Structure 1
Amino acid sequence: MLSSGSAYPVGDERIRVQLGVRLFPPRKTFDRFDPERILFGHGTGVFEDASTTLDDALAGARKGFPRALVRNFGTNLRLFAAAMKD
């Protein structure tokens, strides 16, 4: 749902919201957290201003949807196809 990997970027986002949840970002899930740092299974962690960066990612997710759709459609289609193959 959240990543710092290269499959979901829009502009200069440090945390990317995956295309499938950009229209309805999981704000309630993350509202209770005030992280000092954020680590991911893939990609670079966020070690400075983590809480603000998370808030910005969730707040801008819906606005960034059209741009993310155009930019990442091929990547998301390949990821979906690979997941369905197994």
Structure 2
Amino acid sequence: MGRKNWIFVGSKDGAEWNATIVSLIASCALHGIEPWAYLRDVLILLPTWPPERIIELAPKSWKQTLENADARQRFAASPWPRAPAAAPS
């Protein structure tokens, strides 16, 4: 199914971005994270996040990052509200 859909990405750069996003969403699923809430939260944090700590934003480290006081402060200072937490399954 995917192979036929990938012809519509438009360019090599588009294909690379598509692969990155699909990989992030798949990694979220592997770690039990709701992907759309994760992506929204990461996009809120990313502009002010220190580049040397970028690995903390990966799905593998995400649950621990959310417990971090620094991340909570950055969310509180953001003009955009966080996505509502999904009910545990």
Question: TM-score higher than 0.5 here?
Answer: no
Q: Which has the higher contact order (CA 8 A, sep 6+)?
A: 1
TM-score (normalizing by structure 2): 0.29
